[in-house]
Amino acid sequence: MNLEPLKQTGRLATIALTGLFVFSCKKDNPKPEPEPEPVERTEAQLIKDDIYKYYKLYSLWDKSIPDYTSDPSQFTDKYGTADMVLDALKKMTPAHTAYPNGVFDRFSYMLGLDGYNTGTTASGRLKMDTNDGYGIYVQLGTEDEKTAQPIIYFVEGGSPAQKAGFKRSDFITAVNGDSDYSIAVTCTATGCSINDASARDKMMNKLNAALDAGTLKLQVKHQDGTTTTKDLTYANGYTIDPIYKDSIYTYNGNNVGYLALSSFEEIENNNVNQQKIDAAFDKFQTQQIKSLIVDLRYNGGGYVDASAYVADKIGGAITKGKLMLTYEVNDYIKATPSINKMFQDTKFEGKSNLNLSKVYFLVSDRTASAAEMIINVLKPYLQVQIIASGTRTYGKPVGFFEQVVQKKVSFWPVSFLLKNSANFSDYWDGLVPDKGNITDYVFVDVGDKKETMLATALNDAAPGITTKASINAVSRKGYRTLDQGEVNIRPDRGMIKKR
Comparing 414 with 37, the larger pLDDT belongs to 414
Comparing 488 with 309, the larger pLDDT belongs to 309
Residue 432: inside a domain, yes or no? yes
CA distances from 154 to 71, 353, 354 (A): 48, 32, 29
Q: How confident is the model at residue 4 (pLDDT cuts 50, 70, 90)?
A: very low
Residue 372: inside a domain, yes or no? yes
Tell me which H or E stretch contains 484: strand 480-486
Q: What per-residue confidence (pLDDT) applies to 372?
A: 98
Q: What per-residue confidence (pLDDT) applies to 461?
A: 94
Which residues, other chains included, contact 439 with Cβ-Cβ below 8 Å and sequence gap of 6+? 389, 452, 453, 474
Assess whether pLDDT exceeds 60 at residue 2: no
- Same domain flag for 259 and 306: yes
What does the pLDDT average to over 344-350?
98
CB atoms within 10 A of CB 156: 23
What does the pLDDT average to over 482-497?
70
Q: How confident is the model at residue 122 (pLDDT cuts 50, 70, 90)?
A: very low
What does the pLDDT average to over 482-489?
70
Residue 192: inside a domain, yes or no? yes
- Same domain flag for 226 and 262: no
Confirm if 487 and 207 have CB atoms less than 8 A apart.
Answer: yes
Residue 309: inside a domain, yes or no? yes
Instruction: Look at 234-238, 454-458, 495-499 and tell me which has the smallest mean pLDDT.
Output: 495-499
- Same domain flag for 246 and 233: no
What does the pLDDT average to over 131-148?
94
Q: What per-residue confidence (pLDDT) applies to 476?
A: 56
Q: How confident is the model at residue 1 (pLDDT cuts 50, 70, 90)?
A: very low
**What is the DSSP secondary-structure string of 433-467?**
PSB------TTS-TT-TTSHHHHHHHHHHSTTS--
CA angle 382, 386, 389 (to 5 degrees): 165
Strand partners, 219: 174, 229
Domains held by the chain: number: 3
pLDDT above 90 covers what percent of the chain?
Answer: 77
- Same domain flag for 350 and 300: yes
Q: How confident is the model at residue 114 (pLDDT cuts 50, 70, 90)?
A: confident
- Same domain flag for 262 and 134: no
Residue 9: phi, psi to the nearest 5?
A: -60, -40
CA distances from 273 to 244, 307, 337 (A): 12, 12, 30
Q: How confident is the model at residue 28 (pLDDT cuts 50, 70, 90)?
A: very low
Residue 280: inside a domain, yes or no? yes
- Same domain flag for 209 and 321: no
CB atoms within 10 A of CB 361: 28
Q: How confident is the model at residue 199 (pLDDT cuts 50, 70, 90)?
A: very high
Q: How confident is the model at residue 147 (pLDDT cuts 50, 70, 90)?
A: very high
Assess whether pLDDT exceeds 80 at residue 24: no
- Same domain flag for 154 and 281: no
Residue 493: inside a domain, yes or no? no
Assess whether pLDDT exceeds 70 at residue 422: yes
Instruction: Look at 84-93, 321-330, 458-467 and tell me which has the smallest mean pLDDT.
Output: 458-467
Q: 455-466, pLDDT tens digit by residue?
A: 999 999 987 554
- Same domain flag for 278 and 424: yes
Q: What share of the chain is helix, strand, coil (3-state, %, to 5)?
A: 30, 25, 45
Of 474, 439, 444, nearest to 170 (Cα)?
444
- Same domain flag for 233 and 246: no
- Same domain flag for 202 and 255: no
Q: What per-residue confidence (pLDDT) applies to 472?
A: 54
- Same domain flag for 226 and 86: no
Q: What per-residue confidence (pLDDT) applies to 267?
A: 93
Comparing 475 with 273, the larger pLDDT belongs to 273
CB atoms within 10 A of CB 386: 21
Q: Which amino acid is at 171?
A: F
Q: How confident is the model at residue 244 (pLDDT cuts 50, 70, 90)?
A: very high
CA angle 308, 495, 428 (to 5 degrees): 105
Q: What per-residue confidence (pLDDT) applies to 252?
A: 82
Q: What per-residue confidence (pLDDT) applies to 129?
A: 79
Q: What per-residue confidence (pLDDT) applies to 478?
A: 67
What does the pLDDT average to over 363-386?
98
- Same domain flag for 329 and 227: no
Q: How confident is the model at residue 487 (pLDDT cuts 50, 70, 90)?
A: confident
Q: 178-196, pLDDT tens digit by residue?
A: 999 999 999 988 888 899 9
Of 175, 301, 294, 245, nearest to 447 (Cα)?
245
Q: In angstroms, rounded to a whole number, what is the distance separating the alpha carbons of residues 59 and 39?
A: 30
Per-residue exposure over 216-231, b if at least 16 CB sit within 10 Å of its own CB, e if not: bebbbbebeeeeeeee
Instruction: Look at 71-75, 391-395, 474-478 and tell me which has the smallest mean pLDDT.
Output: 474-478
3-state DSSP call for residue 473?
helix
* 449, 452, 455, 460 alpha-carbon torsion, rounded to 10°: -170
Surface-to-core class of residue 358, CB atoms within 10 Å of its CB (0-12 exposed, 13-18 middle, 19+ buried): middle
CATH number, domain at 315? 3.90.226.10
Domain region containing 183: 130-237
Residue 304: inside a domain, yes or no? yes
| Average pLDDT over the chain, rounded to an integer | 89
Residue 33: inside a domain, yes or no? no
Q: How far is CA 238 from the centre of its chain?
A: 18
